[in-house]
């Protein structure tokens, strides 16, 4: 436990000093949220603006995970530390977990930043009926996306170009999780994919809490999907590290 | 003769040297799949908001995404050398700077053009927009001019990279500026006045507008002014970039910022 | 050396092949045998050197021993634990340091780097502070630990690395070319630190290209070439193994190939190497013990301008050059 907390704190420090994770991971989704809201603003329907504003707030969590989590292992490789952390007796999963949570913390920061920004630039004052549940939903989004990022970073150990794949997940995730677009608009074939993504449920929960409805059903599914990610990642972690040791892909840059 | 060789052969060689890490596993997701996803994202946002039609977003985002390969590759032709610590060696050669750096921009423009055209073609197929067949040759030309203009901006950033080491972050910020200010997703008329005014000075703004008009069936005469302006902006950025390289090269010699990575 | 107790490190016929792929569209596959059947034992408390040219398989061998690579065949154990099966126990008891300036978190301070790895190695929180303090003292970084690693010189990074490798007080320590790129003063301090480790009773496996380093530090040395061990023994034994004789050095100006051939053909001459030193070419002639070759070699140089002629005892470097080039 102590290891998790100290590692979380030190990794957060690394991220904050990094112009990429500490600055871009917040600004990038913020600007995409802005672009989306600019489109919504053309018609100026306040209900639609509020709908988009709530989802746009959470876009940053997704970015901070998919992009950063897959570049994470690449970064360790480049610094030459990947081999060292793998050679440590602590299981590799327990090394990665606090890092992904440090990223989720950056994601949470971006949520607050986006809400303030939207309020300042677009005059969107979030009308939330049930603040505690709304915050809980955001936290659920952060945690489950962190677990998804954990899954991604584990797979990145073995496949060294996975950072490019991770970066390519950013836009589809924004679309498929329904951050700024109602899922009903998407082709029906894509719906099962959305269901498999935990953030979809967290965003639903956020909207429900904001509207004063019960988010518990959505949050329960969200938690279940998130746990499935964690289990899958832990299982893959052992297998992929072994295979990286067999195929000598740890040291490659 | 030497300059011509530096322009063509040197340009191509440096491109191969600096992008040797590029492979289909990186190229396909980041330069083919991502632009299409960006198109889809905003097309659906537009549908959901009831603003614009699909074709509007296809053209806007496909051209906007050309900025990624153009700006990043151009910045990287300088920043990447800095990282490999070969920049000092290149600058120590007597080669003339204009063919040296412009030669490097040719493959970059071609790549940007390909990425944008791929976006337009695949985006229109996925979203079923119909751009008239006769418009395609001119759209291809306009996209090339737009790529040139973004590469010009990339050269400016490359120059900044001589004195400021975090070029990638800067490139991302500029991409975001282009996303919002060039009318990619919101027509300039619908943007606040000051944003539209900034957009008029950026690359891609006029190319996007011209391509949209062509796709709606406009004739060359109607867009030639826009294309001319875009070309002028592109050449302007290239000129600024080249002179900035000259200035910064001198500054880095006096301030010794070159070898720091 | 007869081993009565369990060896600290034991390698039995270790082999490792790599498959490389080049070209994305029409990949050509190649199999490279980096290590082909390496066996050795290191006794507890021994300082063992692994010597060889670049690409000989030193690093690959170490990576198999520290559990980062799985051997293609053969087996190895550290302190009696198998490096493939008993991964966690092996990792807990070994330290690993490699040369060069990578392997550190640039954006963290030296202290934070050490704290991070203390956690990963499960150093008990109560001991951590004291341990880090004494290690910083040991490697001479006290007072600089709060600065970010970005600003460290290469020597400082290397010393921080050593401190990192020692955090959990490992019994066996693997040092992969630790002195690469360090200035002479730093390298001397590093050698003192390594010698200190042995005095504490640690087992050390050291790889290096620097002969005097190996000569000064190692109890025993194995020379590895193209993935195979070609000689093994104490530094003195190795020197005798190749050249239990004398070395004749002749400075010449513009020596011809013919003259070198004459020297090679002289009875009692084992090998002749020509070394360029500025305008000079130095003929390094190693001879059988007791052989008197000076007159013959000089006679063969008739017509060539000859400078200083000297005799000396063979060095470990002579032995090494002969082993890896023959």
CA angle A1, A67, A136 (to 5 degrees): 55
Neighbours of C254 (CB within 10 A): 10
Tell me the pLDDT tens digit for each residue of C43-57: 999 999 998 888 888
Q: How many CA atoms lie within 13 A of C195 on its CB side?
A: 11
CB contact under 8 A, B173 and A170: no
Cβ atoms of A96 and A179 within 8 Å: the answer is no
Joined tokens for residue A75: 């970064």
List of chain B residues whose C-beta atoms are within 8 Å of the C-beta of residue A172: 37
pLDDT of residue B157: 87
In chain A, residues with a C-beta closer than 8 Å to the C-beta of C66 are 87
Distances (CA, A) of A23 to A11, A64, B169: 15, 10, 9
Band of residue B145 on the pLDDT scale cut at 50, 70, 90 = very high
pLDDT band, residue C68 (cuts 50/70/90): confident
Which tokens sit at B36? 């299409």
Distance CA B213, CA B219 (A): 8
**Model confidence at B146, in pLDDT bands (50, 70, 90)?**
very high
- C293: tokens are 């070759």
Binning pLDDT at 50, 70 and 90, where does residue B233 land? very high
Q: Do A168 and B29 touch (CB under 8 A)?
A: yes
The stretch C86-103 carries a mean pLDDT of 84
Answer with the residue of higher pLDDT: B234 or C151.
B234
Please tell me the predicted confidence (pLDDT) of residue C204. 93
CA nearest A176 in B: which residue? B41
Query: How many whole angstroms separate alpha carbon B188 and alpha carbon A38?
Result: 11
For residue C25, pLDDT beyond 60? no
Q: How confident is the model at residue B261 (pLDDT cuts 50, 70, 90)?
A: very low
Q: Answer whether C229's CB lies under 8 Å from C256's CB.
A: no
User: Any idea which of A171-180, C73-82, C316-325 has the lowest mean pLDDT?
Assistant: C316-325
What does the mean pLDDT of chain B come to?
A: 83
* Main-chain dihedrals φ then ψ at residue C213, nearest 5 degrees: -65, -50
Q: Is B149 a residue whose pLDDT tops 90?
A: yes
> In angstroms, what separates the C-alpha of B170 from chain A's closest C-alpha?
9
Mean pLDDT of chain C: 83
What pairs with residue C10 in β-bridges? C41, C77
Contact B182, B202 (CB under 8 A): yes
| Cβ distance of A85 and C121 shorter than 8 Å | no
pLDDT at residue C19 tops 90: no
Q: Which pLDDT score is estimated for C44?
A: 92
Q: How confident is the model at residue A5 (pLDDT cuts 50, 70, 90)?
A: confident
Q: Rank B15-24, B244-253, C25-34, C216-225 by mean pLDDT and report only the highest.
A: C216-225
pLDDT at A21: 67
- How far is the C-alpha of A153 from the C-alpha of A158, rounded, in Å? 9
What is the predicted pLDDT for the residue at B212? 93
Q: Is the pLDDT of residue A253 over 50?
A: no
Name the CATH superfamily, with its identifier, for domain C9-233: P-loop containing nucleotide triphosphate hydrolases (3.40.50.300)
**Mean pLDDT in chain A?**
83
The more confidently predicted of residues A252 and A248 is A248
Residue B256 binned pLDDT confidence (cut-offs 50, 70, 90): low
CA pair distance A40, A34, nearest whole angstrom: 10
Q: Is C17 exposed, middle or buried (0-12, 13-18, 19+ CB in 10 A)?
A: middle
Q: How many CB pairs under 8 A join A and B?
A: 98
pLDDT per residue as tens digits for the range B77-133: 777 666 666 666 666 667 777 777 788 788 889 989 999 999 999 999 999 888 888
How many Å apart are CA C224 and CA C226, to the nearest integer?
A: 7
> How would you list the strands of the sheet with C269-277, edge to edge?
C269-277, C280-287, C246-253, C305-312
Residue B223 near residue B142 (C-beta atoms within 8 A) = yes
Question: In chain A, what are the domain boundaries?
Answer: 2-247
Residue of chain C with shortest Cα separation from A91: C88
Range scoring the smallest mean pLDDT among A146-155, C120-129, C168-177? A146-155
Q: What span, in angstroms and rounded, lies between the C-alpha atoms of A108 and A137?
A: 12
Closest partner residue to A80 among C66, C68, C102, by Cβ? C102
Looking at per-residue pLDDT, the higher value among C121 and B98 belongs to C121
The predicted structure's pLDDT at residue B86: 66
CATH, domain C240-325, list 3.30.70.100, 3.30.2000.20, 3.40.50.970, 1.10.1040.10:
3.30.70.100
Q: For chain B, what percent of residues have pLDDT higher than 90?
A: 36
| Residue A47 sits at the chain B interface (C-beta within 8 Å) | no
In the block, which residue shows the tokens 């303090």? Answer: C133
Q: Tell whether the model's pLDDT for residue C291 goes beyond 90.
A: no
A43 CB neighbours in chain B (<8 A) are 49-51
In sequence order, which residues have a C-beta less than 8 Å from that of residue B12 and are 6 or more positions away?
A: B103, B106, B107
pLDDT tens-digit map of A52-94: 888 888 888 888 777 777 777 777 877 788 888 888 888 888 8
Annotated domain spans of chain B:
2-255
The pair of structure tokens assigned to A65 is: 């995970």
Question: Measured between CA atoms, how close is C70 to chain A, in angstroms?
Answer: 5
pLDDT of residue B21: 65
- The mean pLDDT value for B164-174 works out to 79
Q: What is the pLDDT of residue C4?
A: 55
Any CB–CB contact under 8 A between B40 and chain A? yes
pLDDT in tens, B15-59: 666 666 667 777 787 788 889 999 999 999 999 888 888 999 999
């Amino acid at each position: 436990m102590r290891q998790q907390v100290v590692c979380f704190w030190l990794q957060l420090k690394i991220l904050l000093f990094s112009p990429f994770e500490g600055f871009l991971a917040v600004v990038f989704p913020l600007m995409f949220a802005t672009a989306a809201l600019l489109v919504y603003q053309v018609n100026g329907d306040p209900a639609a603006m509020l709908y988009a504003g709530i989802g746009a707030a959470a876009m940053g969590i997704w970015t901070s995970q998919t992009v950063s989590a897959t570049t994470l292992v690449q970064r360790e490789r480049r610094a030459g530390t990947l081999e060292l952390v793998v050679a440590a007796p602590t299981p590799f999963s327990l090394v990665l977990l606090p890092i992904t949570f440090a990223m989720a913390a950056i994601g949470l920061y971006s949520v607050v930043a986006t809400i303030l920004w939207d309020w300042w630039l677009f005059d969107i004052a979030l009308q939330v009926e049930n603040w505690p549940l709304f915050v809980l939903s955001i936290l659920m989004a952060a945690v489950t996306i962190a677990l998804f990022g954990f899954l991604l970073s584990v797979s990145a150990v073995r496949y060294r170009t996975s950072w490019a794949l991770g970066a390519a997940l950013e836009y589809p995730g924004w679309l498929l999780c329904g951050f700024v677009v109602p899922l009903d608009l998407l082709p029906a074939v894509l719906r099962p994919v959305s269901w498999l993504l935990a953030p979809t449920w967290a965003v639903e929960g956020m909207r429900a809490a904001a509207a004063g409805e019960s988010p518990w059903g959505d949050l329960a599914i969200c938690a279940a999907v998130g746990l499935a990610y964690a289990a899958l990642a832990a299982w893959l972690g052992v297998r992929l590290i072994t295979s990286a040791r067999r195929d000598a892909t740890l040291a490659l840059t | 003769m030497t300059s011509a060789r530096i322009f063509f052969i040197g340009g191509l060689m440096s491109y191969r040297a600096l992008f040797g890490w590029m492979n289909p596993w990186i190229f396909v997701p980041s330069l083919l799949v991502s632009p299409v996803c960006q198109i889809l994202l905003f097309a659906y946002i537009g549908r959901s908001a009831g603003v614009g039609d699909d074709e509007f977003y296809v053209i806007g985002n496909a051209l906007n995404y050309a900025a990624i390969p153009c700006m990043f590759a151009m910045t990287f032709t300088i920043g990447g050398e800095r990282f490999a610590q070969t920049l000092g060696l290149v600058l120590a050669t007597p080669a003339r700077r204009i063919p040296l750096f412009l030669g490097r921009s040719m493959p970059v423009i071609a790549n940007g053009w390909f990425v944008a055209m791929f976006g337009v073609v695949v985006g229109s197929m996925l979203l079923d927009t119909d751009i008239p067949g006769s418009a395609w040759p001119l759209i291809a030309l306009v996209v090339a001019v737009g790529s040139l203009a973004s590469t010009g901006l990339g050269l400016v950033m490359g120059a900044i990279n001589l004195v400021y080491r975090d070029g990638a972050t800067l490139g991302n910020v500029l991409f975001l500026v282009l996303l919002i200010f060039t009318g990619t997703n919101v027509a300039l008329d619908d943007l606040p006045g000051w944003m539209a005014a900034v957009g008029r000075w950026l690359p891609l703004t006029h190319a996007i507008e011209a391509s949209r008009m062509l796709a709606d069936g406009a004739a060359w005469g109607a867009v030639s002014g826009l294309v001319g302006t875009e070309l002028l902006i592109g050449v302007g950025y290239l000129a600024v970039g080249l002179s900035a390289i000259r200035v910064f090269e001198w500054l880095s010699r006096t301030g010794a910022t070159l070898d720091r990575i | 050396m007869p081993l009565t107790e369990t060896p600290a490190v034991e390698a039995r016929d270790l082999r490792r092949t790599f498959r490389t792929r080049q070209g994305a569209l029409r990949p050509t596959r190649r199999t490279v045998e980096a290590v082909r059947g390496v066996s050795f034992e290191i006794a507890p408390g021994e300082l063992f050197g692994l010597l060889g040219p670049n690409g000989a398989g030193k690093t690959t061998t170490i990576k198999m021993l520290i559990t980062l690579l799985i051997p293609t065949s053969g087996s190895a154990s550290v302190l009696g634990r198998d490096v493939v099966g008993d991964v966690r126990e092996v990792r807990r008891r070994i330290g690993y340091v490699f040369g060069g300036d990578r392997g550190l978190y640039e954006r963290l301070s030296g202290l934070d780097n050490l704290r991070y790895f203390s956690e990963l190695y499960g150093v008990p929180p109560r001991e951590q502070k004291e341990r880090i303090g004494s290690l910083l003292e040991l490697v001479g970084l006290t007072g600089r630990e709060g600065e970010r690693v970005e600003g460290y010189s290469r020597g400082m990074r290397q010393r921080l690395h050593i401190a990192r490798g020692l955090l959990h007080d490992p019994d066996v320590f693997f040092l992969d070319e630790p002195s690469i790129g360090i200035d002479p003063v730093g390298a001397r301090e590093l050698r003192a630190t390594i010698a200190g480790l042995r005095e504490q009773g640690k087992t050390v496996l050291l790889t290096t290209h620097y002969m005097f380093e190996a000569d000064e530090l190692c109890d025993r040395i194995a020379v590895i070439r193209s993935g195979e061990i070609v000689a093994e023994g104490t530094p003195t034994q190795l020197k005798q193994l190749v050249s239990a004789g004398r070395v004749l050095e002749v400075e010449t100006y513009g020596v011809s190939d013919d003259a070198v051939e004459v020297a090679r053909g002289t009875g009692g001459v084992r090998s002749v190497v020509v070394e360029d030193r500025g305008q000079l070419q130095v003929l390094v002639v190693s001879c059988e013990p007791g052989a008197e070759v000076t007159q013959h070699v000089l006679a063969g140089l008739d017509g060539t301008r000859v400078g200083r002629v000297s005799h000396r005892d063979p060095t470990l470097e002579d032995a090494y050059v002969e082993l890896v080039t023959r």
